């Protein structure tokens, strides 16, 4: 392999994409990662960083552009770190994401399992029903620059709902008018840390402002300016977070105006959502994902279904119509209360919910002798712990449906399940985050041998 030199120029062809959406260019056997590249292009690169086994590069010019290259539709693209694929067609983005899942299953999981399809979005714009805007020490409200915590001010985001942008703008205007300082991560000083907004199908919004303290100055004016910017706001909530880490929400909430929840409709069911409740950010694509999860569960009406990491009970309640009994577990107390209310609101009587850590609840249900024919897991990005996997396998379900937001941890966990007698049978990817490098996957596992 030829050793490439820093700041020198080389010509190569983009072969594919990394898990973060970077173009992969091989030059004389060396691997170079370049942002904003499109598969099949011939590019002239400048080496910007030399690493142990690979290189980073910047495209200086495109000698032969791909027919899938498009003009980015966002003025912040390349500065804001939110999106990775605004320079290519949506069809090419879907191909990249499907391949990302396939590569993880093969290389990390060691699986000979083909991804059947990727469920693409009908509309890849303004789909986010939840937006989290960090606030910089200089008062900027926007999103982080890639691989940094520098806040890039953003007025209009192509993937967020306009009402969320408006709410964030209202908070920024309030800060500027009354001299309210943004939070400084380095010193721990300053006041406003994040603006967190949920939006429902009707366009109504719930705005939570996260403070480095218990109270804020000019609180009535804050509520008034948010309402003026986003008239369909149904509630303004303050969250106190004085921790010196990257956790966004605090553990204390106070309603400044209106209500502390938002109602929304998903899969034909009504859901009550508090600020910290987990809820998929792309409503239409979540429905497609959940339909696939229900299909994989192969329910006949006689089964007991256990849903770990249930959030506000979306998957649990989606499966309740076809199951005899459904049990949801979640560590966030507010989410469990929402889940119980959601079951009652929708007249669902075969659902139960427990609050606690997934590993503890799974172990307890195992000790209690629960026999669940189907177990569904929808963990955070870090995936499942070995304890959860062990407890799930010990309950000997016929089928395990794994919904994942990270192909790498999914593949790792599927390998662990394989060692305990569970075989991955089907896999489908779903694009819940158009424009970004993230992709969801749902996998069906069945028990096929002695553990």
Where are the chain's structural domains?
9-64, 95-122+282-447, 130-263
Q: Indicate whether 36 pLDDT > 60.
A: yes
- With H, G, I as helix, E, B as strand and everything else as coil, classify residue 112: coil
Active-site choice (80, 376, 405, 437) = 405
Class of domain 130-263: mainly beta
Instruction: Decide if 9-64 and 95-122+282-447 have a common fold.
Output: no
Q: What letter does residue 146 receive in the DSSP assignment?
A: T
Q: What letter does residue 128 receive in the DSSP assignment?
A: B
278: left (phi over 0), alpha (psi -120 to 50) or beta: beta
Mean pLDDT, residues 344-349 taken together: 95
Give pTM, 2 decimals.
0.92
The label of the residue with tokens 């005899």 reads 324
Q: Indicate whether 102 pLDDT > 70.
A: yes
Q: Indicate whether 451 pLDDT > 60.
A: no
Q: In the CATH scheme, what is the code of domain 9-64?
A: 2.40.50.140
Q: What is the dihedral of CA 125, 284, 141, 166, to 10 degrees?
A: 80
Q: In the CATH scheme, what is the code of domain 95-122+282-447?
A: 3.40.50.150
CA 234 – CA 272 distance, rounded (Å): 13
Mean pLDDT, residues 333-352 taken together: 93
Specify the pLDDT at position 147: 84
Active site residue 405: yes
Tokens of 348: 């669902």
Which of 91-105, 118-132, 188-202, 322-336 is least confident?
322-336
């Amino acid at each position: 392999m030829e050793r490439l030199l820093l700041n020198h120029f080389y010509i190569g062809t983009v072969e594919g994409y990394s898990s973060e959406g970077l173009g992969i260019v091989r030059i004389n056997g060396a691997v170079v990662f370049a942002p904003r590249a499109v598969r099949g292009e011939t590019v002239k690169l400048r080496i910007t960083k030399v690493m142990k086994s690979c290189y980073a590069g910047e495209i200086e010019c495109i000698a032969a552009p791909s027919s899938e290259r498009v003009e980015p539709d966002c003025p912040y693209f390349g500065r804001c770190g939110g999106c990775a694929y605004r320079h290519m067609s949506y069809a090419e983005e879907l191909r990249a994401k499907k391949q990302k899942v396939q590569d993880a299953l093969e290389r990390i999981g060691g699986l000979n399992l083909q991804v059947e399809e990727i469920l693409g979005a009908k509309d890849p714009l303004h789909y986010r029903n939840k937006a989290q805007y960090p606030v910089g020490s200089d008062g900027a409200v926007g999103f982080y620059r890639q691989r940094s915590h520098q806040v890039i001010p953003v007025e209009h985001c192509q993937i967020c709902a306009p009402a969320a942008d408006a709410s964030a703008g209202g908070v920024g205007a309030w800060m500027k008018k009354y001299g309210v300082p943004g939070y400084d991560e380095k010193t721990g000083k300053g006041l406003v840390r994040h603006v967190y907004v949920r939006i429902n199908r009707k366009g109504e919004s719930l705005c939570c402002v996260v403070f480095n303290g218990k109270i804020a100055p000019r609180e009535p004016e804050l509520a008034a300016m948010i309402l003026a910017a986003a008239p369909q706001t149904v509630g303004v909530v303050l969250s106190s977070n004085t921790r010196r880490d990257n956790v966004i929400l605090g553990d204390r909430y106070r309603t400044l105006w209106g209500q502390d929840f938002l109602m929304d409709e998903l899969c034909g069911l009504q859901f009550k959502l508090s600020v910290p409740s987990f809820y998929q950010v792309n409503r239409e694509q979540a429905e497609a994902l959940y339909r696939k999860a229900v299909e994989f569960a192969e329910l006949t009406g006689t089964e007991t279904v256990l849903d770990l990491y249930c959030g506000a009970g979306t998957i649990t309640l989606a499966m309740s119509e076809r199951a005899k009994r459904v049990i949801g577990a979640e560590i966030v107390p507010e989410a469990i209360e929402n889940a119980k209310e959601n079951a009652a609101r929708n007249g669902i009587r075969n659902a139960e919910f427990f609050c606690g850590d997934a590993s503890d609840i799974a172990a307890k249900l195992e000790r209690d002798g629960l026999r669940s024919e189907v177990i569904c897991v929808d963990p955070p990005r870090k995936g499942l712990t070995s304890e959860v996997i062990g407890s799930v396998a010990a309950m000997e379900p016929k089928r395990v449906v794994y919904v994942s937001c990270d192909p790498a941890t999914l593949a790792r966990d599927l390998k662990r399940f394989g060692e305990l007698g569970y075989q991955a049978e089907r896999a489908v990817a779903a694009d819940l985050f158009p424009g970004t490098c993230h992709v969801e996957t749902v996998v069906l596992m069945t028990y096929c041998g002695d553990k």
